[in-house]
Structure 1
Amino acid sequence: MSIASQATAFPNGQEEGTTARTGQPAVRHVAAAERALSVLDALQDGDELGTNEIARRTGINASTVSRLLATLAERRYVEHVPATGRYRLSLRLVELGNAVLGRLDLRDLARPHLRALVRSTGETATLSAPGEHDAVTVDFEHGSAAVRSVAQLGRPSVGHATAVGKVLLAFGRVEPPAPPLTAYARRTITDPARLADELDRVRRRGFAESHDEREEGLSAIAAPVHGGRAELAGIVGVQGPSSRFDAAARRAAIPLLLEHTADLSRDLGARG
């Protein structure tokens, strides 16, 4: 019997096991896949959950949830926390998210602005995407100077210790980190009251600065990019060695940064 004759015909003319001729997704769903996705949705808030709690939230019986979690853990979509016996989403989803971000229009729109900032300042320009807790670098252009700061795709920007992170806390729907605040360098803000004052300052000025706060010898500025619904769509930053990207250099670069983020926001449909 041929493969074609083994396929089961459906009323719409589509055959099971064949690609839809209309170019549209098939209408028949796989129940096991839907249940697995329901488990992932239950974990999307970032909480660690046990099997019974996931079963309660999804309406799937606990034994099935247990098997789904074992499968998802084996494929690295969730991870088991031995200390609590619970489960949480894994960094595998960050990898997939970065693959999606790789084709976002924002990167294409932002790249000319990053290059222009590098030409104007000589320093490294970065584009970050806002996340639930941190902003993640999704694109960058290295500075033209011989000694330049190193940017990495996928690197998170710590909220209280980086210019990009401060923009996320000031303009994104993200709660400030709970104390105690980690001291990464000698100038890291570790006092929650001082951090609150700093974020108010960022909102008033429309940009953030950092100087030897995440790393010794690294300074940066950053500003928000807003989308058509006034949401925080991205963050553009400029960073360089503190010995060269000093207070005077940062002051000179801030108007350029704000000009480019305003243009990029307008490209995304933001008003005002």
Structure 2
Amino acid sequence: MEDSKLTVRAVERALDILICFTDDTELGLTEIAGRVGLHKSTVHRLLASLENRGFVIRDDSTDKYRLGLRILELSANMSNADEPSQLWLPEMEALRDRLEETISLYVRDGQERVRIQAVQSNQAIRRVAPVGARMPLYVGASSKILLAFAEEGTRSEIMRSEHWPEHVAHSEFLEQLDEIRGLGFATSVAEREPGAAAVAVPVLNRSQQLIAVLAVSGPSSRMTPEVMREQAPVLMETAARLGRMVKA
């Protein structure tokens, strides 16, 4: 029984190491050890096993690690038939070309939102949106859409959890969510990241259930309040098409 527990713990630690690469392309041993909270000797052994299986690659010139080809092989075998992030990609690319800004797709995972797809702007100065990035639910246009269009019980549970920050008052935040439901979209300027702005809308299926959030983001110098108000109907139009593409 004890050996089984140790084996499971080793698997969990190895997965934690892989998750470290969600936000960074390359990481050193010391950086990884700090993020997962383990001794460097333990992390080194786990990385050696992952490298042996092709899940990570070590660059001899920099002594840093990056994800290996085995990750791509696994992701290539995911079923794309009903996967929205793949099904909607052509529409997202068309929207990017129309609005000339970065387009992202988000879903809720517990107390966070996760970017599951992104199409980067072609402009020199642009909003870079890495897929897999996680953000809190109490700030940002996309987070507010996820809460505004969530079921009331789910919304209440999230806002009353221990993860909800004390400085974000429930009453004021709920008023914002009511306004967002009425408008059908949410905007944000420098709420999570200085110099960045975003517009977000819900993607609802044919049963009017929230599937995901579609957002456009870019530098606040280009995405002024006036521009965002013009972008919102275009975003809503695309979101409606996306929703019709999914089985109810």
The amino acid that maps onto 1:119 is: D
Largest Rg, 1 or 2? 1
Partner residue in 2 for 1:266:
244
The amino acid that maps onto 1:73 is: R
- Which of these residues, 192, 201, 204, is aligned with residue 226 of structure 1? 204
TM-score (norm 2): 0.65
1 or 2, which has the higher helix percentage?
Answer: 2
How far residue 227 of structure 1 moved from its aligned partner, in angstroms, is 2.8
The whole-number CA distance in structure 1 between the counterparts of 2:79 and 2:217 is 22
The amino acid that maps onto 1:70 is: L
The amino acid that maps onto 1:197 is: E
- Which of these residues, 151, 157, 176, is aligned with residue 159 of structure 2? 176
Which secondary structure does the structure 2 equivalent of 1:243 belong to? coil
Structure 2 segments unaligned to the other structure (5+ residues): 17-35, 39-70
Are the counterparts in 1 of residues 115 and 130 from structure 2 also a CA contact under 8 Å? yes
- Which of these residues, 170, 178, 181, is aligned with residue 200 of structure 1? 178
Partner residue in 2 for 1:51:
none
Query: In structure 2, do the counterparts of structure 1 residues 230 and 69 end up closer, same or farther at CA, with 3 Å as the change threshold?
Result: farther
Partner residue in 2 for 1:71:
7
Which secondary structure does the structure 2 equivalent of 1:76 belong to? helix
- Which of these residues, 188, 192, 196, is aligned with residue 210 of structure 1? 188
Structure 1 segments unaligned to the other structure (5+ residues): 1-63, 83-94, 184-188
Percent identity for Structure 1 against Structure 2: 27
How far residue 267 of structure 1 moved from its aligned partner, in angstroms, is 1.1
Partner residue in 1 for 2:87:
109
The whole-number CA distance in structure 2 between the counterparts of 1:145 and 1:204 is 32
Are the counterparts in 1 of residues 107 and 146 from structure 2 also a CA contact under 8 Å? no
The amino acid that maps onto 2:181 is: R
The amino acid that maps onto 1:113 is: E
Listed one character per residue, the Cα deviations across residues 55-95 of structure 1 (whole Å, up to 9, x for unaligned) are xxxxxxxxx4x65443221101788999xxxxxxxxxxxx9
RMSD over equivalenced CA pairs, Å: 3.1
Partner residue in 1 for 2:108:
130
How far residue 191 of structure 1 moved from its aligned partner, in angstroms, is 3.0
Partner residue in 1 for 2:53:
none
The whole-number CA distance in structure 2 between the counterparts of 1:165 and 1:101 is 27
The amino acid that maps onto 1:176 is: M
Deviates more, 1:125-134 or 1:66-75: 66-75
How far residue 229 of structure 1 moved from its aligned partner, in angstroms, is 4.3
Are the counterparts in 2 of residues 134 and 168 from structure 1 also a CA contact under 8 Å? no
Listed one character per residue, the Cα deviations across residues 161-191 of structure 1 (whole Å, up to 9, x for unaligned) are 11111111112334226578659xxxxx833
Query: In structure 2, do the counterparts of structure 1 residues 180 and 232 end up closer, same or farther at CA, with 3 Å as the change threshold?
Result: closer
Larger relative CO (CA 8 A, sep 6+): 1 or 2? 2
Query: In structure 2, do the counterparts of structure 1 residues 162 and 101 end up closer, same or farther at CA, with 3 Å as the change threshold?
Result: farther
TM-score (norm 1): 0.60
The amino acid that maps onto 2:7 is: T
Listed one character per residue, the Cα deviations across residues 222-264 of structure 1 (whole Å, up to 9, x for unaligned) are 1111234433211111001111111011011000000000111
Partner residue in 2 for 1:241:
219
Partner residue in 2 for 1:154:
132
**Paired residues, what number?**
187
Are the counterparts in 2 of residues 130 and 232 from structure 1 also a CA contact under 8 Å? no
